[in-house]
Structures are given as C-alpha cells and as structure tokens.
Amino acid sequence: MADQVPEVPLVLVSNPYLEKKASIIRQKPILWEGYERASLLTHEQVELIKAIDKKPSHVIQEAMNEKGSTYASLILYLLQNLSRPDTIQYVCLMTDDILSASDDNARYFHEISKDDASLPFAPFLKVLEAEDEFMALEASKVLTILACSAPLPSSVDLSALFNWITKKLTGSISDVVNLVIQELESLLRVNTYRLSVWNTQNAIKELIHRLYLNKSASTPQIQYQIIFCLWLLTFEKDIAAQINEKYDVIPLLVEIAKSAVKEKVIRVSVATLKNLVEKAPAQNLAAMLVTKLLPFTENLSSRKWSDADILEDIDYIKERLQEDFQSLTTFEQYASEVETGKLEWSPPHKSDLFWKENASKLEQHNYQLLRALARLLSTSTSPLVLSIAASDIGYYVKYSSKTGKNVLQEIGAKQRIMELMTHEDQEVRYQALLAVQKYMHQAW
C-alpha cells in the first residue's frame, strides 16, 4: 500500500442482505396514478417515474443523460412530499439505481444545493430515522454515495449519519454491521470526514470492539475491512497520535497480523502500523517495542510476499524501531512497559542495580510511574502482571525515600500487596510475600 490513499471509487457498498430485501421491494407495485388522482403528483411527474421504473440500468442512464437535473429534483420532491412507507422505500431504491447506473449521476443531486443548501442530504437524513429497517439502510447507502461525491465535503454535516452508523455497529445482525463497515470504508477515503468520524462519540470504540470480536483468523474479510478503516484514519496526525493510547490498537494489530492467514490482512495491518510510526513516532514507537514488533518485522521481512509494497512498509517500520531501540535507555523501556500495562520479566525487573539507580525516577511528575504501577496492582487480572508489579514494588521500597513509602500507603499499594498474599496464583502469592518482607525489613 503506497503512502497515499487510493483514488476514491464512489462507493463500494454491496451487500447480499440489502440486495435480497431490495428485490422484494422491487416486486411491489406502486400506484403512481393514484397519487396523480389525489393531485399529489402531476401527470408529467408520473410519466417521468414510469420511464425509469423497473427498467435496466442502460435505460435509466439514457433518461439521466437527457433529464438528469429533472430526475434529481423529482426524487427530492417525492421524499419531501409523500409519506407512505412503501413509497419512500421505493424512492430510496430508485435513487440507488440512478446513482449506481453511473458515478456521474450524483452531480445532478449536488447541483440542487445551489438553490437550497440543505439538499440533497436533508431528505435522506430524515429517512435514516425511520423505524423501517430497509428504508434506513437504503438511505444510508445513498447518503454514503452522495457524501463521497460531494464537491465540497467540508460544507456537509454528516453527524447524523455517523451517529447512525455507530449505533448500527453495536447491533447483533452481522449483515447490517458489515454494511455499515463498508460505508465507513468509503466515507473515510475522503480525508475531510476522518476527524468527524473520530470525534463521533463511541464510533471508534465500537469499530475496535468489532475487531476484538473478530480477532480469530476465521473472519479475514471483516478484519480486513475494519483495519482498512483504521488505516485511513491514521493518515491524520492527530488521530495517529492518540489512537493507541485511547484504544490499545498496536498490540491488537500485531496479534492479528501474527495469526492472519490472508496476506491482505497482514498487509493492511502493517500499513496501519507504518502510518502510526510515520505520523506520530513519539507516541507509538515505545509501545511497538513493548509488543515485540521488532522481532516480528524481522520475521516478516524474510517471508515471500506477492505485493512489493508490504515489504517496503515492513522495512520502514523495522528501521525506525531499530533506531529507536538503540536510543532507548533501559529505564525508558521499563517506563513504557508500566505505562502500557504490558509487564513481562524483562531484565530490569530482576536487577538490583537497575533499582538502585532508578527507584527515585518513579517519583518524578508527582509519582506518576509509581501510581501507574499501583494501578496495575489494583486493576490487572493477569497473574503475570500482578507478580511483576508486586516484585517491582518490593524493589522500589528497598531503595525509595521515606516520602515514597508514605505515598505507597496513601494510594493503597501496601494494602493491596497484603491482599495478594492470599491470591489463588502461587507466583503472585510468592512475589507479594517477598515484597512484604522487604517492607518489614525497611521498618514501616
């Protein structure tokens, strides 16, 4: 994957679930003449509809070439003036047919915004709120196509669509979830929408939650599509700087890349990690070292790939990590382990010399690291993390200042170590006991 986002095809939403519902709706006859008799539509309007109704796409395209603007105005008029659910369903489907017949047809809808800035989006946004599932799904597809083809994306307010997508991501119907992930893939290709999606409450949280649910190699297509969304998001510096701290995506991407069977899943994971290194190295390199990404990139670079881009990305990450690894002091490595909560028995945890030299550094910035260590003791459920954190507290006590010991008591770490002496895991009990012995030895 090259550095730039691929050219934007208008939209790539194809979904058998939606298509099956659409074919049922197509079979229902709409009595347009009845609307004419009730004076809700003119004879000319009915004739226009009948000219494209249930017709193949080349016939629809001929009509659009001749009267594109007229049809766009008619569709919006129908949505604003008719209210029967079956008719609205049908009008949304007709719009989809028009927009799908040619990418160029979207411009007729956008031209209408010259007369009314709320168009062409407002009528479809209103349909999104409908109880009827098909109507809302079809409107979301149309809105996605219109949003991706908007001449001025920055003037479009799609917050209602982004909120609707977020809500659907939490649903239990996997076909609907797949549909909205496809819509996000399309929308995020337009860089103007990335920060809006990022700032939509719970949107990224739900998207990443879906990735956790699909962590196994048995769902490569969904994995690929979600990570593709993350890849597009991380082209924005602000997002690349915050996404790992907020959502812990680096370990997740590494884990998925390690177990992935499909090359495209590894490729998009690596491309996302590359964006994180390139756009926000200061925020991401330490976390990558902690998740052992360096040895993994060495393993990846020795494999055969059908796509040359993937090797470029792997080598780029590997070089940056090697530079960073050499410049990191042992203490910085230790600190990034504590900050990310990914403790393992690396050398500093077992070195008396390390603690003698560095115990006081845990007290900097109002005991920030010490508090982080105490927080792990209280919140972690991993026996490994609890054992190491207990051991670290013991070493810290051995070399800390009197104030440091008082702080430990204030933040509840001493009490927690006592509790861990009865933990179900043998290693946790043992490390807690050693820590308590060091406490006693230092005469509380």
pLDDT of residue 337: 86
Query: Which residues, at least 6 apart from 39, have a Cβ–Cβ distance to it below 8 Å?
Result: none
Report residue 421: phi and psi, to 5°: -65, -15
| Upper half-sphere CA count for residue 272 (Cβ side, 13 Å) | 28
307 torsion bin: left (phi>0), alpha (psi -120 to 50), beta (else): beta
pLDDT of residue 2: 42
Joined tokens for residue 178:
């797949």
3-state secondary structure at position 236: coil
pLDDT of residue 423: 93
Amino acid identity, position 287: A
Lowest-pLDDT choice from 150-164, 208-222, 382-396: 208-222
Contact 169, 180 (CB under 8 A): yes
Sign of CA dihedral 364, 366, 367, 371: negative
pLDDT of residue 402: 83
Cβ-count burial 312-324 (b if 16+ within 10 Å, e if not) = bbbebbbebbeeb
| pTM for the model | 0.78
Contact 279, 237 (CB under 8 A): yes
Contact 204, 252 (CB under 8 A): no
Closest of 179, 287, 267, 191 to residue 234, by C-alpha: 191
Report the distance separating Cα 398 and Cα 356, nearest Å.
8
Report the distance separating Cα 284 and Cα 149, nearest Å.
34
Amino acid identity, position 60: I
Q: What is the pLDDT of residues 163-222, one digit of tens each?
A: 999 999 999 998 999 999 999 999 999 999 999 999 999 999 999 999 998 887 778 899
Calculate the alpha carbon distances from 422 to 146, 352, 375 in Å: 61, 26, 19
For every residue of 311-358, DSSP letters joined together read HHHHHHHHHHHHHHHHH--HHHHHHHHHHHT-----GGGG-HHHHHHH
Quickly list H helices, 129-248: 133-149, 159-169, 174-187, 194-198, 203-213, 220-233, 237-247
pLDDT of residue 47: 96
Contact 5, 235 (CB under 8 A): yes
Joined tokens for residue 181:
């992930």
**Prior bond of 120 cis (ω within 30°):** yes
Q: Report whether pLDDT(7) > 60.
A: no
Q: What is the pLDDT of residues 350-377, one digit of tens each?
A: 888 788 888 898 888 899 999 999 999 9
Burial of 351 (0-12, 13-18, 19+ CB in 10 A): middle
More confident residue, 161 or 415: 161
Contact 159, 167 (CB under 8 A): no
pLDDT bracket for residue 227 (50, 70, 90):
very high
Report the distance separating Cα 238 and Cα 241, nearest Å.
5
Q: Report whether pLDDT(398) > 60.
A: yes
3-state secondary structure at position 359: helix
Q: Report whether pLDDT(3) > 70.
A: no
pLDDT of residue 275: 96
Closest of 6, 9, 5, 7 to residue 106, by C-alpha: 9
Report the distance separating Cα 29 and Cα 25, nearest Å.
9
Q: Report whether pLDDT(11) > 60.
A: no
Task: Give the largest Cα separation in the chain, rounded.
Answer: 97
Question: What mean pLDDT value characterizes the chain?
Answer: 90
Query: Which residues, at least 6 apart from 148, have a Cβ–Cβ distance to it below 8 Å?
Result: 8, 10, 11, 186, 187, 189, 190
Share of the chain above pLDDT 70, in %: 95
pLDDT of residue 351: 80
Calculate the alpha carbon distances from 412 to 5, 90, 178, 393 in Å: 49, 63, 45, 12
Q: What is the pLDDT of residues 230-240, one digit of tens each?
A: 999 999 999 99
Closest of 424, 15, 303, 3 to residue 185, by C-alpha: 15
